[in-house]
Structure formats: structure tokens, C-alpha cells
């Protein structure tokens, strides 16, 4: 699972960035939320979003088990899609070039994304369609008659 560094709660467990005491401020935090899902469902959803709408940056964890979709800040407050988790995430300012989570890489990098974040309602619909597609494919595999060699 992608580790956002903020534990399992819905809010970050670390202190928020504050300007340096000398009056010089470091870059501000950039907020976004991160929806993590199993990789198979996430890959299907990326394809659906690319074909029909637009997809924002997408992370993959180092083991390839999960994908993380960057969504607008505040999405976590109302996210309740079973099989997924939405976590508020913060990073220090500047362009989002390097993956903001240690050990993660880009499946869809910010420069290749169609938009800065994925629209939550479209992501929810794509994840639902992806889950139904996977379930249908698994059902076909179980019901397919076996042939003898």
C-alpha cells in the first residue's frame, strides 16, 4: 500500500509546515488527496479515464500492488468507496516532478497527465466500472469449460 506518511487516520499526523523564524519562508505546502486502490482495478480505471475523460497524475507503489490517484484537496472528507482509501496528503511546494511518496513511482506523471488532479466523481465511476469488468472477466474464467490436452 502506498504509505503517505500520515498513518491510518483521515488527517496528517505530522506538524504542518511553518515559515522559518528568520522571516524567509520555504515553499508553501501543496495539498491534494490521494485515492489508493488495488493495482488491477486502478489500471482498468486509468484506461477508462484515458478513453473517456482525462486522468491526473497516478502513482504506483514499489511492489506494484497499489495505485494512487491524485485528487483535489477535500475529497477525503466524503470518500466512501469500498476497496479504496482516500487520504489527505501534503508536500512542500514547487512542481510535482518527483513522486511525493517514498518508494513510489509515476504510472502517469504530472507532465503526461491531462490535468493536475483526477476529478473525483469520474474516478469513482471509473473504479466502479473497473470492478465490474474484473468481476465479469473472473466469472467467465470460472465458467469456461476445461479442455483436455
pLDDT in tens, 97-148: 667 677 788 999 988 998 889 999 999 999 999 999 999 988 765 655 555 5
Tell me what pLDDT residue 16 has.
32
81 found inside a domain: yes
Cα separation, 75 vs 73, in Å, equals: 6
Tell me what pLDDT residue 104 has.
86
Cα separation, 58 vs 54, in Å, equals: 12
| Whether the predicted model's global pTM rises above the 0.75 cut | no
149 found inside a domain: no
Range of the domain at 87: 29-140
Per-residue pLDDT tens digits for 36-71: 999 999 999 999 999 998 999 999 998 889 999 999
97 found inside a domain: yes
Number of domains into which the chain is organized? 1
H-run or E-run covering 142 = helix 120-143
10 found inside a domain: no
86 found inside a domain: yes
Higher pLDDT, 115 or 77: 77
Cα separation, 110 vs 5, in Å, equals: 21
58 found inside a domain: yes
Query: How would you class 109 by CB atoms within 10 Å of its CB: exposed for 0-12, middle for 13-18, buried for 19 or more?
Result: middle
Confidence of residue 85 (pLDDT cuts 50, 70, 90): very high
43 found inside a domain: yes
42 found inside a domain: yes
Amino acid at each position: 500500500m502506498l504509505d503517505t506518511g500520515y498513518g491510518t487516520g483521515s488527517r496528517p499526523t505530522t506538524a504542518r509546515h511553518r515559515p522559518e523564524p528568520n522571516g524567509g519562508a520555504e515553499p508553501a505546502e501543496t495539498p491534494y488527496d490521494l485515492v489508493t486502490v488495488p493495482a488491477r482495478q486502478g489500471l482498468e480505471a486509468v484506461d477508462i479515464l484515458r478513453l473517456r475523460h482525462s486522468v491526473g497524475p497516478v502513482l504506483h507503489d514499489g511492489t506494484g500492488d497499489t495505485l494512487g490517484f491524485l485528487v483535489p484537496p477535500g475529497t477525503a472528507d466524503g470518500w466512501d468507496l469500498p476497496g479504496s482509501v482516500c487520504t489527505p496528503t501534503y508536500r512542500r511546494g514547487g512542481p510535482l516532478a518527483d513522486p511525493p511518496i517514498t518508494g513510489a513511482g509515476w504510472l502517469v506523471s504530472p507532465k503526461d497527465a491531462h490535468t493536475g488532479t483526477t476529478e473525483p466523481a469520474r474516478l469513482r465511476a471509473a473504479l466502479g466500472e473497473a470492478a465490474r469488468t474484473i468481476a465479469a472477466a473472473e466469472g467467465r474464467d470460472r465458467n469456461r469449460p476445461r479442455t483436455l490436452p
